[in-house]
């Protein structure tokens, strides 16, 4: 579970415009609108704190719950 990460992508019209990656720790914009959104979301410490905590509360927790059915299944 040490390599579990959270990736949240926002896509419009088949183009990714902003992404959050827990390895990076903040939002990254790929288009002018996405850069604006990323700056806005990165300036909100509560949102970033929630996203960083979501890795533990959602990803690692659910990984342990679903691992027997997905990873260990043969």
User: pTM for this structure?
Assistant: 0.79
Strand partners, 54: none
- For residue range 49-72, what is the model confidence (pLDDT) as tens digits? 999 898 888 887 787 787 777 777
* 1 is a domain residue: no
Strand partners, 15: 12
* 64 is a domain residue: yes
* 65 is a domain residue: yes
Q: How many domains does the chain have?
A: 1
Which residue in this structure is represented by tokens 């040490």?
A: 2
* 44 is a domain residue: yes
Query: Distance between CA atoms of 23 and 32, rounded to whole angstroms?
Result: 23
Q: Are 72 and 24 in contact (CB under 8 A)?
A: no
* 2 is a domain residue: no
Residue 19 gets which letter from DSSP? E
Domain CATH code at residue 51: 3.10.320.10
- For residue range 6-33, what is the model confidence (pLDDT) as tens digits? 899 999 999 999 999 999 999 999 999 9
Query: Which residue range is the domain that position 15 belongs to?
Result: 7-71
């Amino acid at each position: 579970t040490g390599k579990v990460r959270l990736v949240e992508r926002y896509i419009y019209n088949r183009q990714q415009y902003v992404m959050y990656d827990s390895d990076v720790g903040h939002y990254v914009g790929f288009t002018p609108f996405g850069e604006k959104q990323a700056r806005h979301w990165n300036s909100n410490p509560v949102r970033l704190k929630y996203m960083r905590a979501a890795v533990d509360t959602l990803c690692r927790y659910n990984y342990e719950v679903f691992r027997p059915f997905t990873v260990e299944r043969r």
